[in-house]
Amino acid sequence: MEPTAALPYLTAQTPGTGGVLRASPEDFRVDEVPAYEPTGEGEHVYARIEKRDMTTPYAVDRLARALHVDARDIGYAGLKDRHAVTTQWVSLPRVDPAAVEAPAIDGLRVLAVSRHRNKIRTGHLHGNRFTLRITGVADIALAIGNASVIATELRNKGCPNYYGAQRFGREGDNAERGFAWLRGDGPAPRQHFERKLFVSAAQSELFNRYLARRVAAGELGTYIEGELAMRFATGGAWRVEPAEAQALYDARGASAAGPMFGTRMVRASGAAQAREEAVLAEAGLTIESFAKARDLGEGTRRPVRVLLDDLAVERDGDAVRLTFTLPPGGYATALAREFMKGAETVETALE
């Protein structure tokens, strides 16, 4: 079973649309929202690319081959879904802008070319704008009605910031393999990239379990004594004052900051600490278990909800169309499952 299959829904009281996501790549569109626009001057050539049904690393490799540059010198802000149509900016060194405008690559086209002073680095984005089409619904009028109710609740309360199934590997077992290694009852991964994948999956699964308990208890936007918070506008976790915490949450200024466990993660206190330690204990782990992963297991904090002020539902023929923007690290499939009510109906993409 995928790690996401049993996660509780925030909108469980409203029936889902059913249907299928990603019957074709065009049903899942992602447009990157960059952190800045190119100025038109500088040594780095920027290209806004559109790719269809290919991973970002594959697209970068094809561009590098076509333009005779080292793929490691091409910069991009983040990975985009494979089974989708996506757009994003990439930066290229020492190339003729004219050569970038029309590379002969199936499934990839260049939409714009400019210049800027710096290479694009991971994280140089504000978020991603999604347009999803849910097809194959049994009753489109009923589906639109239910989807509209779900959208209203998500706009009002935010959406649980679950990690999607993409985070846990093709077989969905990376987290369990990570747990076994960290507990000492499984083999240590030989390769650095495997250690990174397993630790990341383990941290993400523990976060999902923690968040699932909050959602099931109706506490997505409720302050728990001793927890840390994160401001939506600026990020960064801090110890929120209990007297002001709930008002801040209700005003949509901040979110509780859930645990991405690790040896250097800032720890909660009181009731919040007890809840977090219970999630670890259930997996047979302690904070100290992550010392085995060294620098890969430092840990951090992640908001438990994301805001969806621009979430919209529309009828598109016999399909339900959803449009919304997510911050970096947000999973569109985590939102789509709230609408579809059935993780098995959410086709996931693997980078």
Active-site amino acid positions: 81
Tell me the residue ranges of DSSP E strands in the chain. 20-21, 28-34, 44-52, 75-76, 85-93, 108-116, 125-135, 159-160, 228-231, 237-239, 254-260, 300-303, 305-306, 312-316, 319-326
CA distance 302 to 332: 16
Q: Which amino acid is at 16?
A: G
Q: Which residues contact 248 (CB under 8 A, 6 or more apart)?
A: 229, 240, 254
Identify whether the C-beta of residue 236 lies closer than 8 Å to the C-beta of residue 230.
Answer: yes
Helices (H) and strands (E) in the chain, counts: 8, 15
CA distance 47 to 208: 36
